[in-house]
Amino acid sequence: MAKLYFRYGAMNSGKTTSLLQTAHNYEERGQKVLLMKAGVDTKGDDTILSRLGVRRRVDLVVGAQDNVRLLVRRRLLMGQGRPGAAPQASARLREVLDCVLVDEAQFLTPSQVNQLMEIVLLDDVPVLAYGIRTDFRTTSFPGSRRLLEIAHSLEELKTICRCGCKAIFNARKIGQDFIFDGDQVAIDGINVTYESLCGKCYLEAGGSLASA
């Protein structure tokens, strides 16, 4: 039976690298995978890039209002039925797809996570979602919260803090300064970066567990 997997970890824990390795493992065996990411993640537009420099174009970029299951079925079954029509209910996705891989899954809406589960339960296609649990104020992302609630399997990908302990929080920085105010989503880049910290170093940097 297919399952919904949530593989999570602090930033720099190798989530995208693990996703790309999983895709390679499937394809090496002649199996079909579909890669998607949330449109909120604007880095690379339709491309995902691991910290090791490995890059790959995704098959689908998911907007906030999109129905994920419908997008996947249209992409894979678009040749069935008349042009422009929705996929036929009787069309079997499992016959043309072996796995769905989702990068930056924390940016999905709870409804979209439910739709991933529908792909698993109704189409019998396993879904592996990768993401972080909490933002820079230790508050859950809606997509991650829903994945933690309903996923069949939870796996933590680990990384270390500057002190050598296990990192669990994602601290936001502008330049060399840590900041703890602002919107939940700010994609890392020129002006904003993130550092994975253990709980003690997070508090010492000025963070607060009461901010949530």
The residues annotated with a catalytic role in the active site are 104
Neighbours of 47 (CB within 10 A): 12
Torsion (CA) 163, 191, 56, 15 in degrees, nearest 10: 30
- For the record, the structure tokens of 156 come out as 């933590």
Query: How far is it, in rounded angstroms, from Cα 43 to Cα 95?
Result: 32
Question: How far apart are the two ends of the chain, measured CA to CA in Å?
Answer: 37
Query: How far is it, in rounded angstroms, from Cα 146 to Cα 63?
Result: 18
Backbone angles phi, psi at 48, to 5 degrees: -110, 145
